[in-house]
Structure 1
């Protein structure tokens, strides 16, 4: 196992330590110093053994902000005794990328590898991502891309085929507290010489506010410590309240996290779990989701998952949507909350949705089948002579109100059954009626054969 080499001088220069943020000063210098990622970096895991042996490979690190993607990339370079270079897909264009790649090729020709870290790699379009491919293939770079978005959606297949995807997780509250304690105790890089005093519960509150982001937690601690310098070094609850006043949760209005949360809301409603439905609704509203989008999706749930088991759900969805549009604010959100509870508690049926899907498939599969003559109107004499409307039975004039011995399907199809009501809610009654009608129609059609 190799011993990690000294960090790059531009990262650990003692002269500039006091100018760098606490989160940067406390960046782990070895795998043992990293907090979280126990699954990925367990002592006998494949990735850890490869890194410690200096056998690094091109990879994509997929995880939320502050989970250690940049740190892991730095450690890869240090354990492999390779040059570390970093570009940001937000700031860099192809000219800058080509220059870095050319320098890496020159370095490779001299016998030294380069770990090229590409932050926010999903911001490069799929054509720009192709620029890395030949260099990865030749081995002139060890490519390490970092992304908060699902790589299977955001990265092209050629790049993915040349890289291994490693999933990194949000860091737990317990692990963040550990990182905060390390910063408080470290006299060289942290706050060990500053006499900062803080309770364990306050550290947990900072860790919870960081929402899985170690960098954010250290930044909050640093701000609190600066304010505490006027309080004899004590981070009081009042000081902490100021620091955490405007906390925000992770929420990407256009990314996978957004769609994961709306999926969780929809499936909570479908599973008749009003408490979970309220939680995910609150999460999305808290994250800044467009309420009009939630109105549309909740209405779709009423149509697709409740259906005719409780048709009132559709009207209630439209009313809740309209209430929000008219009054907005907390009261408007309450209309959505009441709707989510109602939808979750309502009887469920996707029978109408399934029936319509099957009907559409038959329309596509059987082409333009002719309308039976008896179902056509005959507004002209010629149409009467051709047999239009001949034999049609007006249902209201038939005993029982249903002409059971006439079909309403094209002759090429014959009778079909698409809609199969479930035995829940209003559809129990609909099912009883349809079962009787279908049995009677089948018998009548067999008689008239």
Structure 2
């Protein structure tokens, strides 16, 4: 009779595999070698018991909670855990009270705050004095950039450690260890799953060790054979999405990569990042709005068709939704990537806005004002205005269209690419007409 895949006894049938497999010793922590290799500051801190407040910043499933528990264990400190999602100031005060009691008996306390970025300023301030006076050692875990989400006062008292997503080889070691561990893991034969099968789980986990272990546990729960079949693995990993945190650090990293790929004329790179975001669940209409922005910011008048193509893609997404409208987004992104580039419109607009903000509220020159009433005409509204269509070549050379106090300004400088090359030539011709007009109408000339 074949051994049943579930014949091994687990320490707690109700405890998830990912929790049971949390390592308690550095030798069994796979990954984060840039922090935990021999001689690295965090390893030295853990092994020496030199506790200090810190923030672990990294993607889900990279070991933030595990490292916090391990640090407290190595240092013989009590470990208190709060979730910023579920906790408030009352819970923080209760934790501080416990820490004070332990401090009175000569024992340190580690207060671990998961998803600390979800605490508001008042909640972060609530435990700041107790970090300062040593009542507790603060360890925060966050998937968001601490410089944006945490108070400067808290950051100045903590050291930030950046955790990286697990490499494929590290996740394979974690899964193989969980599969074969007879005490905390599944305790099965090494032949229960092949490395190529485990690799499918690794790819679906996308650098997240917790997700990889959860997938392994689901697969073993579904299998009733000593050797797991390929069919069960494919069924479990089908439909898995890559890591994408809407509105979080990963979100902005990926939209930045898409924008920079377009700006850098990398059609393939831009298409890859578009696909990554769509695959991760990004709202297509958000992407449509962003590509319209890219058309004006990075292509502008070098190819005015780019803006219309992006607007058409936006309209298509609204009409068809996803996935039918996604192809129109791909078309727009590819067009932007290969189009001639110019940020002249973007720079000109910013310069004009800077002048508006920095200068006074200047009056509109009289010749540029409208004069629909007799009184306005008597006040010289519109007087001396030169109607461009009645001027030679349809251009009123030498006319000033700025407030008198500001004087003429040059904002728009077309680049020598695409249609802007012709626009630059036309603008140069108009400037020459202006110069000639001023020369011909110079007082005493």
Q: Please state which band the TM-score falls in when normalised by the shorter chain.
A: over 0.9
Asked whether 1:345 is paired with 2:345, we answer: no
Deviates more, 1:310-319 or 1:399-408: 399-408
For 1:59, the equivalent position in structure 2 comes to: 54
Q: Which residue of 1 aligns with 2:103?
A: 108
1:82-125: CA deviations, max 9, x gaps?
11121212222332322221011110011000111111112221
Indicate how the Cα distance of structure 1 residues 195 and 417 shifts in structure 2: closer, same or farther if over 3 A, else same: closer
1:184, 1:196 within 8 Å by CA — same for their partners in 2?
A: no
Contact 1:372 1:411 in 2 (8 A): yes
Tell me the residue number matched to 2:433: 440
Q: How does 1:10-49 map onto structure 2 within 5 Å?
A: 16-49=11-44
The alignment status of 1:187 with 2:182, answered yes or no, reads yes
Distance 1:43 1:280 in 2: 36
**Consecutive unaligned residues in structure 2, runs of 5 or more:** 1-8
**Contact residue 10 and residue 183 of structure 2 kept, 8 A:** no
Q: How far 1:165 sits from its partner (Å)?
A: 1.0
Contact 2:83 2:116 in 1 (8 A): yes
TM-score scaled by length of structure 2: 0.92
Q: How does 1:327-346 map to 2 (within 5 A)?
A: 327-346=320-339
Distance 1:428 1:189, change over 3 A: same
Matches within 5 A, 1:283-298: 283-298=276-291
Change (3 A) 1:221 1:445: same
* Equivalent residue, structure 2, for 1:325: 318
Partner residue of 2:308? Answer: 315
Conservation of the 8 A alpha-carbon contact between 1:196 and 1:225 = no
Quick one: structure 1 residues 392 and 91, their matched pair in 2 at CA, closer, same or farther if it must change by over 3 Å? closer
Q: 1:85 to 1:417 in 2, by over 3 A?
A: same
Q: Which residue of 2 aligns with 1:68?
A: 63
| Structure 2 counterpart of 1:424 | 417
Instruction: Tell me the distance in 1 between the aligned counterparts of 2:379 and 2:12.
Output: 95
Q: 1:25–1:406: structure 2 CA closer, same or farther, 3 Å change rule?
A: closer
**Change beyond 3 A, Cα 1:49–1:333:** same
RMSD of equivalent CA atoms: 1.9
Give the drift of 1:246: 3.1
Structure 1: which 5+ residue stretches go unaligned? 1-13
Corresponding residue pairs, total: 434
TM-score, normalised by the number of residues in structure 1: 0.92
The corresponding residue for 1:151 is 146
User: Are residues 1:165 and 2:165 paired?
Assistant: no
After superposition, the C-alpha distances for 1:124-148 in whole angstroms (9 at most, x for unaligned) are 2110111211211121211111111
* Counterpart secondary structure, 1:331: coil
1:441 and 1:73, CA in 2 relative to 1: closer, same or farther beyond 3 A? same
Classify 1:173/1:15 alpha carbon distance in 2 versus 1 (closer, same or farther; 3 Å): closer
